[in-house]
Structure 1
Amino acid sequence: MSLPTAAQQALDDFAQCPGWEQRARLLMQWGERLVPLNEAERGEGNRVHGCESQVWLVGELAQGHWQFRAASDARLIRGLLAVLLARVNGLTAEELAAVDLVAWFEQLGLARQLSPSRSNGLNAVLQRMRQMAGD
């Protein structure tokens, strides 16, 4: 299965970072690219539970492909969400179900920096996406 263009871009960007400090900086930059959610979208109904930080997720289906937007109050989490969205946006529900979160963050060189709580939170986001796609 080929990667979405944004996911390939993320891999290319992160591959050029020799160390964690550069990756962390790049992660923050990716987080700044997230399209902000408006107040209504930051409502309780869009909140993802299971994250230590506050995370909101909205998604829409267009011609069989999902587009998600997300926001968080934490800078590092915004970066992690941005690279997760790069991996999943444009996928069908079936492709979304097959995404391996751990493998994706390992490919980016970010897996070791994912604390168990962050990993659980990102898993909660992915599960929420899959629920939306399955409805």
Structure 2
Amino acid sequence: MVASDAPGDVDQPRITVAEWERLNRPPRREALLRYHWRVFCFLRTSAPVSELQGREQAFRDAIIASVAFNRPDVIEWQIHLVRRYLAEHDSYIVFDNSKKDEAREAIRDLCRRQHVPYVALPRNRLVVSRSHGQALN
């Protein structure tokens, strides 16, 4: 096939370079800096409630860390299964990332009754879908 056989409109772009640049702008610097500052502040905030009950060594020896989010029933079931199937059930810690105060209190009371170390994480003001990942950090 030679150049003269190609249809004439194939090489024509459908949008102009100016339109493409307008639609594909890089992120604004201010918004990006604000987001990085919020992530930095969130990761540097200490836990408001930490009930390790003299078991600070649990952080060093922990093999299972669970991030709770508004579901005390799931944490109760998980505590039961960890104690049933894992020999190292003493090295289980619950990190609470709940948004609802009622759920936080219920999970805290459950962990206190079951003698499970509990740490309430600071409130996350960032994007909700990234809340669990930042709780793991």
Q: TM-score, normalised by structure 2?
A: 0.27
Choose 1 or 2 for highest CA Rg.
2
**Structure 1 or 2: more helix by fraction:** 1
